[in-house]
C-alpha cells in the first residue's frame, strides 16, 4: 500500500469521525429538549425502562452490523450517560412569565407550541379546524391575541392570510410573525399591519416539525419594518442555537423557489421516474449505490409530508413557473447531451455545475 492510499483511507476515517461527532451533538441537543419537556410535565429525568430498551436495541443492531457486543455496549452506555447529564442541565427558560398564542394545530403548530412551552411560555392555541392536545385551545383568538406577548401564525399556507387577518383585527399588543414557506400572499397584510402600528415580522424556519430543536439549522427573518418584532424573532430562534439569516421580504420567494421548491420538484421527478419503471423498489434497493440512496432518501421523505403544504409551496410561489420552465428546458438539453455521440455537451454541463457548486457547503 502506498502512502497516498493510506492517506486516502485516513481521510475517510476523519470524515466518518466528523459525521459521528455531528450526530452525537445532535443527540445531546435532542436530549436537552427531552429534559425541558420532562421538567415542564414534572417527570423524572431518568427512565430506566427506556434506557434498558436503548441498550437492548443497540445490541441487536450491533449484532446485525457485525459490531462486537462489548464495543456496542460501551458506546451506548457512554451516550446514555451523556444524555442523562444533558437532560439534567440547568436549562434556561427565557420565556418564563410570557404568554404566547400559536395559530394552527397542525404539525408545525404542535412543534411551535412545544418549543415555546419548553422555554417557559404560557401557551394558548387557536385553530378553527382542529384542536391541539395537551394545550389550552381557544374558540376565538381575540382575547388570547390581545394578552399574548407573542403570536405565531403556524397555519397552512392556504389559510394563513385569513388566520392572520383575524389576529390583526384583534389589535394585539405583542409581536406577530408567521412561519410561511412562501411570502407573496402574506406580504401586503404584514406590511399594512406594521403601518397600523402593530409589531409584525415574517419568519421562515428552514426545517420541518420532525426536528427536536432549531439548533444548527437556518431560520430566515424577513423584516416588515418593525425592528422590535425582528429582534424578538431573532432572539427566540437564535437563542436556541439557530443560524439567523436576514432575507429581504421581497427576495424571499425568489430564493426559496430554488432553495426549497426546486429540490422538491427534482425529488418528485426522480420518484416518478423510478416508480413508473418496471423495477420494484426492493430490487433497486438491493443493488443501489450512493447516488440512488441519497435521492431515494429525499424522495421517500417527501412522500411522508403534507400533500397540501408541498402543493402550496409550488402553487403560491410566483417564481415556481420559472423553475418549472427552466426544468423543462434543461431536461431537453440534458437529453440531447446524453444521447449525443460527442461527449462535449455533456462534459460542459458537468463542468458548469462543478464551477457553480464549488462554493457550496452544508
Is 92 within the bounds of a domain?
no
- Shared domain for 142 and 280, answered yes or no, is no
Mean pLDDT over 271-276 rounds to 96
Q: Which of 202, 227, 248 is the last residue of a domain?
A: 248
The number of distinct structural domains making up the chain is 3
Q: What is the pLDDT of residue 69?
A: 83
Q: What is the pLDDT of residue 1?
A: 67
pLDDT at 315 over 70: yes
Is 124 within the bounds of a domain?
yes
- Shared domain for 129 and 233, answered yes or no, is yes
pLDDT at 78 over 70: yes
- Shared domain for 181 and 305, answered yes or no, is no
Q: Answer whether 161's CB lies under 8 Å from 184's CB.
A: no
- Shared domain for 265 and 193, answered yes or no, is no
Task: Please state, in angstroms and rounded to a whole number, the distance separating the CA atoms of residues 269 and 254.
Answer: 21
- Shared domain for 301 and 336, answered yes or no, is yes
The DSSP 8-state label assigned to residue 258 in this structure reads I
Is 314 within the bounds of a domain?
yes
- Shared domain for 23 and 157, answered yes or no, is no
Q: Answer whether 145's CB lies under 8 Å from 160's CB.
A: no
The Cβ-side half-sphere exposure at 157, using a 13 Å CA radius, reads 20
pLDDT at 15 over 80: yes
CATH code, 69:
1.20.59.10
- Shared domain for 243 and 262, answered yes or no, is no
Least confident window among 17-26, 44-53, 141-150, 333-342? 44-53
Compute the mean pLDDT over every residue in the chain, rounded to the nearest whole number.
Answer: 93
Range of the domain at 43: 3-87
Q: What is the pLDDT of residue 135?
A: 95
Least confident window among 39-48, 250-259, 319-328, 336-345? 39-48
Is 93 within the bounds of a domain?
no
Q: Which of 248, 278, 313 is the last residue of a domain?
A: 248
Mean pLDDT over 214-225 rounds to 97
- Shared domain for 233 and 270, answered yes or no, is no
Q: What is the pLDDT of residue 253?
A: 98
Q: Answer whether 215's CB lies under 8 Å from 242's CB.
A: yes
pLDDT in tens, 114-139: 999 999 999 999 999 999 999 999 99
pLDDT at 44 over 90: no
Q: Which of 226, 248, 270 is the last residue of a domain?
A: 248
CATH code, 200:
3.40.50.720
Q: What is the pLDDT of residue 126?
A: 96
Amino acid at each position: 500500500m502506498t502512502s497516498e492510499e493510506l492517506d486516502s483511507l485516513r481521510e475517510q476515517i476523519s470524515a466518518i469521525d466528523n459525521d459521528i461527532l455531528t450526530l452525537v451533538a445532535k443527540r445531546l441537543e435532542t436530549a436537552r429538549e427531552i429534559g425541558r419537556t420532562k421538567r415542564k410535565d414534572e417527570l423524572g429525568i431518568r427512565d430506566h425502562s427506556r434506557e434498558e430498551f436503548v441498550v437492548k436495541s443497540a445490541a441487536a443492531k450491533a449484532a446485525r452490523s457485525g459490531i462486537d457486543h462489548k464495543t456496542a455496549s460501551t458506546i451506548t452506555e457512554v451516550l446514555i450517560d451523556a444524555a442523562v447529564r444533558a437532560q439534567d442541565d440547568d436549562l434556561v427558560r427565557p420565556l418564563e412569565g410570557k404568554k404566547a398564542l400559536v395559530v394552527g394545530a397542525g404539525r408545525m403548530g404542535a412543534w411551535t407550541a412545544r418549543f415555546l412551552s419548553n422555554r417557559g411560555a404560557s401557551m394558548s392555541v387557536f385553530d378553527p379546524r382542529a384542536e391541539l392536545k395537551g394545550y389550552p385551545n381557544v374558540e376565538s383568538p381575540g382575547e388570547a391575541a390581545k394578552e399574548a406577548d407573542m403570536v405565531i401564525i403556524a397555519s397552512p399556507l392556504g389559510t394563513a392570510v385569513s388566520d392572520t387577518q383575524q389576529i390583526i383585527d384583534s389589535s394585539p399588543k405583542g409581536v406577530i410573525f408567521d412561519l410561511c414557506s412562501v411570502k407573496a400572499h402574506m406580504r401586503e397584510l404584514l406590511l399594512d399591519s406594521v403601518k397600523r402600528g402593530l409589531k409584525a415580522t415574517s419568519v421562515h424556519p428552514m426545517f420541518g416539525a420532525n426536528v427536536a430543536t432549531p439548533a444548527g439549522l437556518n431560520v430566515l427573518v424577513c423584516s416588515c419594518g418593525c425592528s422590535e418584532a425582528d429582534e424578538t424573532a431573532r432572539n427566540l430562534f437564535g437563542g436556541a442555537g439557530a443560524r439567523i439569516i436576514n432575507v429581504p421580504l421581497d427576495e424571499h420567494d425568489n430564493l426559496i423557489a430554488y432553495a426549497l421548491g426546486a429540490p422538491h420538484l427534482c425529488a418528485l421527478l426522480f420518484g416518478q421516474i423510478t416508480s413508473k419503471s418496471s423495477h420494484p423498489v426492493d430490487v433497486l434497493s438491493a443493488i443501489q449505490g450512493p447516488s440512488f440512496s441519497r435521492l431515494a432518501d429525499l424522495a421517500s421523505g417527501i412522500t411522508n409530508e403534507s400533500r397540501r403544504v408541498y402543493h402550496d409551496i409550488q402553487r403560491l410561489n410566483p417564481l415556481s413557473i420559472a423553475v418549472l420552465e427552466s426544468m423543462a428546458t434543461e431536461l431537453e438539453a440534458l437529453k440531447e447531451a446524453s444521447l449525443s455521440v460527442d461527449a462535449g455537451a455533456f462534459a460542459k454541463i458537468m463542468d458548469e455545475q462543478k464551477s457553480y457548486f464549488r462554493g457550496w457547503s452544508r
